[in-house]
Amino acid sequence: MEEYKQFYWGKTVLVTGGAGAIGSNLTRKLAELGAHVIVVDDLSSGQIWNIPSVSNVLFVKGSILDEVILKRVFFERPQIVFHLAAFFANQNSVDHPERDLMVNGMGTLRMLEYSVLTGVERFAYASSGCAIYGGDMPLPLKEDFVTMHLSTPYQITKMLGELYCNFFYHHYGLKVVKPRFFNSYGPGEVPGQYRNVIPNFIYWAMKGLPLPITGTGEETRDFTYVGDLVDGLLRAGYFESAIGQSFNLASGREVKIIELANMVNKLTGNNAGVRFVSRRKWDTKKRLLASIELAKKLIGYEPKMQFEEGLKITIQWFRDNWEKIEASAEFGPGASSAVREMVAIKD
Ligand SMILES: NC(=O)c1ccc[n+]([C@@H]2O[C@H](COP(=O)([O-])OP(=O)(O)OC[C@H]3O[C@@H](n4cnc5c(N)ncnc54)[C@H](O)[C@@H]3O)[C@@H](O)[C@H]2O)c1
């Protein structure tokens, strides 16, 4: 086994947001590698059935804003913290900006404080390349690109988290790492009004509905398989060269939204096609493509999953878990301006 994987055997690792799309996959992998994993999650967007039910995973239900919960989980003396809990994502933050600031801002600050106080050896912050680079940027995106033109509270608070990490690194010597994820997809992400396009497309396709494209369909995203992100996180928690650094974790490949929609329809056997709906006001990004050269250099990151293969695995996960997914998918009427049309279709 590679050294960075062996490293986790017997380690006590705290994963915030471990019931979520990426955190649940990370938790499963860490448990397989023999770590003692503590998951803290308030289940606001994660699912309890997503957390692996094995003896080396301890689940503590609660918020990272709750000091009683923080004392409980830091009492376990984690050596490594993967801080993935977040108020997710753009549209949610537009609808609920104060909760976004509390969880992504204050929650991250508290996690950093408790990590310093208890002598955590490595703190990995889940940053977002989709958020912190804003909407108008040179491609492929490199880590030294900085913008003040952030268009949602989520974009602002994901950047804020990085800035707090920098403060704790420089002032207290906390060994922080700041991987910037791009458009994760894969098993573990339940569709919903505030979720990403891939789980939502699969969900609508499996219901035989046309897939709503918010734009022209020519827009691109750098979709990254969750297993590749988890591998990047494991590396980020291990390699010394990552300390203090921000680096993209992406696939380094662009996919057009129309191609994605056609592929999902083909793989699910959906004949309903696509339909075009208006673009969301904050959604100004036409293309997204990340450079992954820095992550390759710092931590040997090498994404492996082919896009269509990753989609097939995700669709299979939907088929295997359809009842649970249907019961958990949240598309509440009226809550989000962006999905009102979809709710109307569903009804
Ligand atoms: N999914 C993506 O495409 C993507 C892209 C870039 C960055 N990220 C970042 O990666 C991380 C994980 O994303 P995800 O897609 O797994 O999101 P997710 O919503 O599936 O997971 C986040 C988890 O945090 C939990 N949570 C929220 N508020 C909490 C609180 N106050 N206390 C405790 N737990 C709380 C939720 O219940 C959920 O299980 C987030 O920090 C997100 O900003 C994700």
**pTM for the whole structure:** 0.97
Centre of ligand 1 from the C-alpha of residue 272, in Å: 31
Asked if residue 346 has pLDDT above 70, the reply is no
Atom of ligand 1 minimally distant from the CA of 154: 43
**Residues with Cβ < 8 Å from 323, sequence gap 6 or more?**
none
As a whole-number percent, the residues of the chain with pLDDT over 90 amount to: 92
Task: Express each pLDDT in 237-268 by its tens digit.
Answer: 999 999 999 999 999 999 999 999 999 999 99
Q: Is the CB of 23 under 6 A from ligand 1?
A: yes
Q: Is the CB of 101 under 6 A from ligand 1?
A: no
Please state whether beta strands 36-41 and 12-16 pair in parallel, antiparallel, or not at all (unpaired): parallel
What is the per-residue pLDDT for 136? Answer: 84
Centre of ligand 1 from the C-alpha of residue 84, in Å: 5
Centre of ligand 1 from the C-alpha of residue 195, in Å: 10
Centre of ligand 1 from the C-alpha of residue 19, in Å: 9
Q: Is the CB of 184 under 6 A from ligand 1?
A: yes
Atom of ligand 1 minimally distant from the CA of 83: 41
Q: Is the CB of 328 under 6 A from ligand 1?
A: no
Residue to mutate (ligand 1; options 44, 109, 165; most atoms within 8 A of CB): 44
Q: Is the CB of 198 under 6 A from ligand 1?
A: no
What is the per-residue pLDDT for 283? Answer: 86
Q: Whose CA is nearest to atom 32 of ligand 1?
A: 63
What is the per-residue pLDDT for 134? Answer: 93
Q: Whose CA is nearest to atom 21 of ligand 1?
A: 20
Residue to mutate (ligand 1; options 14, 22, 106; most atoms within 8 A of CB): 22
Task: Tell me which residue of 81, 65, 63 sits closest to 119, measured CA to CA.
Answer: 81
Asked if residue 129 has pLDDT above 60, the reply is yes
Alpha helices (H) in the chain, listed in sequence order? 3-6, 21-32, 67-74, 90-95, 97-100, 108-117, 129-132, 153-172, 197-206, 226-236, 257-268, 293-299, 307-320, 322-328, 340-346
Q: Which DSSP string corresponds to 85-132?
A: -----HHHHHH-HHHHIIIIIIIHHHHHHHHHHTT-SEEEE-EEHHHH
Band the pLDDT of 333: cuts 50, 70, 90.
low
Asked if residue 317 has pLDDT above 50, the reply is yes
Band the pLDDT of 336: cuts 50, 70, 90.
low
Q: Is the CB of 111 under 6 A from ligand 1?
A: no
Task: Express each pLDDT in 148-167 by its tens digit.
Answer: 999 999 999 999 999 999 99
The arithmetic mean of pLDDT across residues 115-130, rounded, is: 98
